[in-house]
Structure 1
Amino acid sequence: MRIGTITLANPVILAPMAGVTDLPFRLLAKDMGCGLVYSEMVSDKGLIYDNIHTKKLLAIDDRERPVALQIFGSDPESMSQAAAIVAAAGADIIDINMGCPTPKIVKNGEGSALMRKPDLAYHIIASVVKAAGTVPVTVKFRKGWNEQSVNAVEIAVLAEKAGAAAVSVHGRTREQFYSGQADWNIIRQVKQAVKIPVIGNGDICSPQAAKRMLTETGCDGIMIGRGAQGNPWIFRQVAHYLATGEILSPPMLTERIDMLLRHLDMLVDHKGEYVGIREMRSHAAWYTKGLPSSAELRLKFNQAASKEDFIRIMENYRIDVTART
Structure 2
Amino acid sequence: MFSINKIAAYMLAVVLLITAMLVAISIGTVSVPIFDIVKIIGAGLFGLSIEQVDPMYSNIVLNIRLPRVILAGLVGASLAIAGAAFQGLLRNPLADPYTLGVSSGASVGAVVTIFFNLSLPLIGKFTLPLFSIVCSFLTIFIVLLFSQRIDRSMKVETIILTGVIFSSFLSAFISLMIALTGEELRQIIGWLLGSVSMRGWDYIKIILPFFIIGSVLVLVNASELNALSFGEERAQHLGVNVQKRKLLILIAGSILTGAAVAVSGTIGFVGLVIPHLTRLLWGPDHRHLLPLSILTGSSFLILADLVARTIISPTELPIGVITSLIGAPVFAIILIGSKRKERRR
Structures share a fold, TM > 0.5?
no
- Relative to its length, the structure with more strand (as a share) is 1
TM-score (norm 1): 0.26
Normalised by the length of structure 2, the TM-score is 0.25
Larger RCO: 1 or 2 (CA < 8 Å, sep 6+): 2
**Higher helix proportion:** 2
